[in-house]
Structure 1
Amino acid sequence: DKRGFSFEVLPPLKGNGTAALFRTIDALSEFGPRFINITTHHSEYVYKELENGLLTRQRVRRRPGTVAIAGAIQNKYDIPVIPHIICSGATKEDIEYELLDLQFLGISNILVLRGDKAKEDRQFTPTENGHAHATDLLKQVNQFNDGFFFDGTPIKHPGDKFCCGVACYPEK
């Protein structure tokens, strides 16, 4: 039988530990999941009032740690993980560092997505020096797989190649 079970988890909110997440995985692991997806959430902007009454805009990431959570799950449970890599809120360099960290952890399966638009935006706006589409992000991953950093510099000792799932959709 080729059918299998998988599930998707969110990284804990900033400041919370992994205990609740691990309790959830403990409960679901009895079903023998073939893999676990780990979502990624981009930064968002919040406005905070200063003492003088003016507002200041601050960038906040409420759910950091996708790569670290993927490594922790794979290490603790020996279940394959598929972290999401997204365009939203990430520069090409940010993505490159995520790929390097995943390689160091021995994680080679990823899901490439554009990600959601920022809450305050009407449409998706790519980060400066980032990607507008999942297909562009996939090109960067493929270039990395071919042994080159995003700026074209050769990677001296390329690691294992990434196996990518991709979710794309047309704009309305």
Structure 2
Amino acid sequence: MSVADLIKAEDKTAFSFELLPPLKGNSIDKVFYTIDQLKEFNPLYINITSHRDEMVYKDVKSGLFERRVARKRPGTVAVAASIQHRYGIKVVPHIICSGFTKSETEYALIDLNFLGIHDVLLLRGDNAHRDKYFKPEEEGNNYAIDLVHQVNELNTGQFLDGTLLDAFETPFGYGVAGYPEKHEEAPNLDSDLFWLKKKVDAGAEYIVTQMFFDNAKYFDFVDRCRAIGIKVPIIPGLKPITLMNQLTVLPKIFHVDIPEAFAHEIRKCKDNDEVKQVGVEWCIQQSKELMDRGVPLLHFYTMMATNSTRKVAEAIF
């Protein structure tokens, strides 16, 4: 069953979460630790993020710098296969435009098909570290809608080199991202929703939202989606705040607002232990309200928040 089928089959709010592959040189044990802490809550699936190579600059003699390409995390396909093999839980690797050519994307999808992994999340991805604006790779995809079209063509047996083969026995199912507070580059939310609907009309089976801390923004986003004919499940993305500096870091990186009532409670904290408790309590309140409104699934961004996510899950599932 695809992720979309699993969501439709649930008769109550389900649970899922997202993982980052470990940094280069580290073992997968941290990934396994997170899963071991959360598997008792029966995750419907586990997302695995994908990351582009980065340019780094190394000091050389005479005050010059040498530019080198560095990959900071291992491949998402390998991590996804390891998780599926060890736990038997459905995995949903991210497929991104950023840092990858169409050919590299095709080979990743071919590998996933070979491994029996047929659910992906299609995203444009972030800018390169030193780029102010997004720049696709030469012969790469520009936008997530381009990834949608590439996956659709591959599902029917159309390869980039013009080769035509039998369609995959199990075609890829996929979700896309939604932004309750709009994507940072969109001129307005209506424009953002226009392109989101294009992706859904082209075949996206569900939407996972960027993290948010004000449920009213999620509910308004869902209402706007429904009003323009987007009928697929819209999965809310949540993150328990765990560090004082996230009060400024998260809005800067993810372009989300933190409600003043929440920010006020965080500012009163004496240390990060108190911040974690406040973050858990806020996330529990968010989760309960969302569940009362009948959301099909709660999706948690676990980055640096495994123990907090567990406390939230213990309180609501």
Shift of 1:97: 0.7
Partner of 1:76: 86
Task: Indicate the structure (1 or 2) with the bigger Cα radius of gyration.
Answer: 2
Aligned mate of 1:171, from 186, 192, 195: 186
Which residue identity lines up with residue 171 of structure 1 in the other structure? A
What CA deviation, in whole Å up to 9, does each residue of 1:31-56 have, x standing for no partner? 11111000001111110112343211
Measure, in 2, the Cα distance between the counterparts of 1:59 and 1:122: 18
Q: Indicate the SS of the match to 1:100.
A: helix
Aligned mate of 2:160, from 129, 150, 158: 150
Shift of 1:98: 0.4
Measure, in 1, the Cα distance between the counterparts of 2:177 and 2:37: 28
What CA deviation, in whole Å up to 9, does each residue of 1:74-123 have, x standing for no partner? 11111101000000000011001100110011000000000001121111
Measure, in 2, the Cα distance between the counterparts of 1:99 and 1:159: 14
Establish whether residue 91 from structure 1 lines up as the match of residue 106 from structure 2.
Answer: no
158-167 vs 37-46, which moves further: 158-167
Measure, in 2, the Cα distance between the counterparts of 1:60 and 1:167: 27
Establish whether residue 38 from structure 1 lines up as the match of residue 48 from structure 2.
Answer: yes
Partner of 1:107: 117
Which residue identity lines up with residue 152 of structure 2 in the other structure? N
**Dislocated runs of 4+, deviation >6 Å:** none
Which residue identity lines up with residue 112 of structure 1 in the other structure? L
Aligned mate of 1:27, from 15, 32, 37: 37
Partner of 1:48: 58
Checking the alignment, whether the CA contact within 8 Å between 1:103 and 1:159 is kept in structure 2 is no
Q: Where does structure 1 lack aligned partners over 5 or more consecutive residues?
A: none
Measure, in 2, the Cα distance between the counterparts of 1:154 and 1:57: 40
Partner of 2:138: 128
150-159 vs 102-111, which moves further: 150-159
| Superposition TM-score, scaled by structure 1 size | 0.94
Checking the alignment, whether the CA contact within 8 Å between 2:54 and 2:70 is kept in structure 1 is yes
Establish whether residue 11 from structure 1 lines up as the match of residue 11 from structure 2.
Answer: no
What CA deviation, in whole Å up to 9, does each residue of 1:121-164 have, x standing for no partner? 11100000001100011111111001011232113573421001
RMSD over aligned Cα atoms: 1.5
Measure, in 2, the Cα distance between the counterparts of 1:159 and 1:65: 25
Measure, in 2, the Cα distance between the counterparts of 1:51 and 1:160: 54
Checking the alignment, whether the CA contact within 8 Å between 2:155 and 2:167 is kept in structure 1 is no
Establish whether residue 116 from structure 1 lines up as the match of residue 126 from structure 2.
Answer: yes
Checking the alignment, whether the CA contact within 8 Å between 1:9 and 1:38 is kept in structure 2 is yes
Partner of 1:58: 68
Identity %: 53
Checking the alignment, whether the CA contact within 8 Å between 2:156 and 2:166 is kept in structure 1 is no
Measure, in 1, the Cα distance between the counterparts of 2:35 and 2:118: 21
Q: Indicate the SS of the match to 1:5.
A: strand
Checking the alignment, whether the CA contact within 8 Å between 1:134 and 1:167 is kept in structure 2 is no
